[in-house]
């Protein structure tokens, strides 16, 4: 059924266009490494929670917007191989050195597809 790697991070609102360009440059690399879909979503309606929420999960600060992203792969094996290639590819290393947000506050994980309708 496929495999999804999800990401949530906080991006300074002033960096929206820079973030979009950064993601647009990364998308072809992820596809080259085996991704079938690459999605970036700019937070539009992120409510504060009573116990936890997206903003708290990434320690979003004043002036930052929560971004939700995911990358789809045909399988976990393809995702794992893609991640290995990314870590050794100089193009990805250069992109990671110039991210328009604080990557240390990003949360991410891999998910096996349970339902896809």
pLDDT in tens, 82-93: 999 988 888 877
The model carries a pTM of 0.91
Decide yes or no: CATH 3.40.50.11890 for domain 13-62+71-98.
Answer: no
Tell me, what's the pLDDT at 103?
86
Q: Which two tokens stand for residue 39?
A: 């999605």
Q: Which residues contact 51 (CB under 8 A, 6 or more apart)?
A: none
What residues of the chain score a pLDDT lower than 50?
none
Closest C-alpha among 57, 77, 82 to residue 67: 57
Which residues touch 31 (CB under 8 Å, ≥6 apart)? 38
Check residue 91 and give its pLDDT. Answer: 86
């Amino acid at each position: 059924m496929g495999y999804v790697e999800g990401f949530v991070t906080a991006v300074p609102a002033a960096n929206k266009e820079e973030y979009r360009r950064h993601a647009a440059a990364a998308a072809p690399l992820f596809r080259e490494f085996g991704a079938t879909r690459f999605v970036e979503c700019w937070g539009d309606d992120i409510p504060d929670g009573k116990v936890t929420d997206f903003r708290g999960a990434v320690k979003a600060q004043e002036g930052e917007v929560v971004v939700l992203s995911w990358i789809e792969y045909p399988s976990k094996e393809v995702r794992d191989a893609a991640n290995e290639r990314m870590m050794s590819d100089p193009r990805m290393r250069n992109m990671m050195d110039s991210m328009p947000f604080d990557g240390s506050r990003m949360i991410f994980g891999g998910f096996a597809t349970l339902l896809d309708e």
